[in-house]
Amino acid sequence: MEDRVVVITGASGGIGAATAELVSKRGMSVVLVARRKDALDAVASRCGENALTVVADVSQRENVRRVVSAALERFGRIDVWINNVGRGISLKPSELTEEDVDEVMRLNVMPALYGMQEVLPHFESRGTGHVINISSLLGRVPFAVIRSAYCGAKHFLNALTATFREEVQASHPGIQFSLVSPGVVRTDFGLNALHGGPDSRQLPDSQSAEEVAEVIAGVIESRQPDVYTRTGVQSRIAGYYASLGADPQT
């Protein structure tokens, strides 16, 4: 891959860290963003000299704006912006409070919205750029009842990505917005969920963060708009909706 400047939020562990290490090995410069300085520094040490760390809580717009400025000051441009911040919640829909829903949206939707909005002027000035939003299979089908609010937030993110793409490409066709949707990934996601949750490493049909990172790296190259990280997922999604037996005439 030619040298690209890639901003990765949520880069201190899991999918973000794996992606940073992979693309840096392929010649890309990386801007690593997360709240935990020590963990970020450890990832940066494995990414080489073309890694910049920015300690920031990207659920705050001013911090996202600061990330854009820091990346441009160091590298002079941004080619790819990966929105990878998110957090699960373990509650059935009947148990959700207003505070729970507000928090899940704040952590799973607003960082991506801020990232897309704040990097857009730079992309428009260059006529090119690429946003990759990390969604979830649960953003397509609500398989997990205890992930009710998380499913809703990822559905929102999917729609936001698609409508952003349609709006921006009407005037700037060189700017792409992509979705990458993993299933269960062997990270701390489950353990870190609000109200606790099962360890993702113990769930069936999981994949590693490194496997997901390979798919993300492929999307940087292909610029495909919508990608799953496992084969055969489309038929599973189609089967879910077919099982509902919806009648389009009613």
Q: pLDDT tens digits, residue range 93-145?
A: 999 999 999 999 999 999 999 999 999 999 999 999 999 999 999 999 998 89
pLDDT tens by residue, 5-15: 999 999 999 99
Closest CA to 27 of 41, 46, 47: 47
Catalytic residue among 114, 150, 240, 241: 150
203 band by pLDDT with thresholds 50, 70 and 90: confident
> Distance of CA 41 to CAs 67, 96, 103, Å?
16, 36, 27
Distance from CA of residue 32 to its chain's centroid? 14
Q: Supply φ then ψ for residue 173, to 5 degrees.
A: -65, -15
HEC profile of 107-119:
HHCHHHHHHHHHH
**CATH superfamily for domain 5-86+108-135+154-231:** NAD(P)-binding Rossmann-like Domain (3.40.50.720)
250 band by pLDDT with thresholds 50, 70 and 90: very low
Res 66: pLDDT: 98
Indicate if 228 belongs to the active site: no
Whole-angstrom distance, CA of residue 31 vs CA of residue 44: 9
DSSP single-letter state for residue 80 = E
Number of CB atoms found within 10 A of residue 218's CB: 13
pTM score:
0.94
Helix/strand number for the chain, H first, E second = 8, 7
Dihedral, 65, 69, 79, 131 alpha carbons, nearest 10:
0
Average model confidence (pLDDT) across the chain? 94
pLDDT tens by residue, 33-46: 999 999 999 999 99
